[in-house]
């Protein structure tokens, strides 16, 4: 097996957890402030977006971990059928093989490739979703910071 899909679920989960923990802590500390005060309003808005990004990253970490596990499981199945997996593609290894081996490979390859395609598509959707959420949270935070009108 070569070309394992890139990404580290643990680091994404760590970031998601940290963002959510920080957002919850800050919201709790700011809770006694009136919601219509400058600090209370700003704290609420910032915590909402930080928590949103954290939630998206935690979801992505889970999707990424599942994709990596699926990839590994399919690579094992491919190896058992005498095939190799490169990235999300099933390939026939080089070398001289017997006719029954060729037949076995050709029977196994389409199903394996279809399963790899599904895994790759799921991961693609998860990546698009986390990117959208992070970009939206970024844009919202930028707007909040601009409205606060504080030089940093």
Partner 1 sequence: MRRTPASRSRDAVRLAVAAEAREAAHEVFTLDPILGDASAQRAADAFVEQAAMSLVVLATVAERTS
Binding region for partner 1 (CB under 8 A): 5-8, 11-12, 14-15, 18-19, 22, 25-26, 29-30, 32-33, 37-39, 42-43, 46, 49-50, 53, 57, 60, 64, 127, 130-131, 134-135, 137-138, 141-142, 144-145, 148, 150, 152
Nearer to partner 1, 23 or 83 (CB): 23
Q: In 3D, which of 113, 118, 109 has the Cα closest to residue 67?
A: 118
Nearer to partner 1, 22 or 77 (CB): 22
Nearest approach in angstroms of CB 147 to partner 1 is: 10
Cα separation, 115 vs 131, whole angstroms: 24
Strand partners for 89: 86
Nearer to partner 1, 8 or 117 (CB): 8
User: Residue 80 corresponds to which tokens in the numbers above?
Assistant: 């058992």
Q: Within a 10 A sphere around the Cβ of 31, how many other Cβ atoms? A: 11
Nearer to partner 1, 110 or 124 (CB): 124
Q: What is the DSSP string of 124-145?
A: HHHHHHHHHHHHHHHHHHHHHH
- C-alpha distances out from residue 40 to 28, 47, 50, 52, Å: 11, 11, 15, 18
């Amino acid at each position: 097996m070569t070309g394992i899909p890139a990404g580290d679920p643990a680091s994404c989960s760590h970031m998601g957890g940290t963002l959510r923990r920080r957002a919850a802590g800050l919201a709790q500390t700011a809770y006694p402030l009136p919601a219509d005060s400058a600090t209370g309003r700003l704290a609420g808005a910032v915590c909402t977006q930080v928590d949103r990004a954290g939630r998206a990253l935690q979801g992505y970490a889970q999707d990424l971990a599942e994709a990596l596990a699926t990839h590994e499981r399919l690579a094992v199945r491919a190896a058992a059928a005498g095939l190799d997996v490169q990235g999300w593609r099933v390939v026939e290894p080089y070398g001289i093989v017997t006719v029954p081996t060729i037949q076995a490979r050709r029977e196994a390859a389409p199903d394996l490739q279809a399963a790899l395609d599904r895994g790759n598509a799921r991961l693609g959707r998860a990546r698009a979703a986390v990117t959208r959420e992070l970009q939206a949270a970024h844009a919202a935070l930028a707007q909040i910071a601009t409205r606060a009108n504080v030089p940093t």
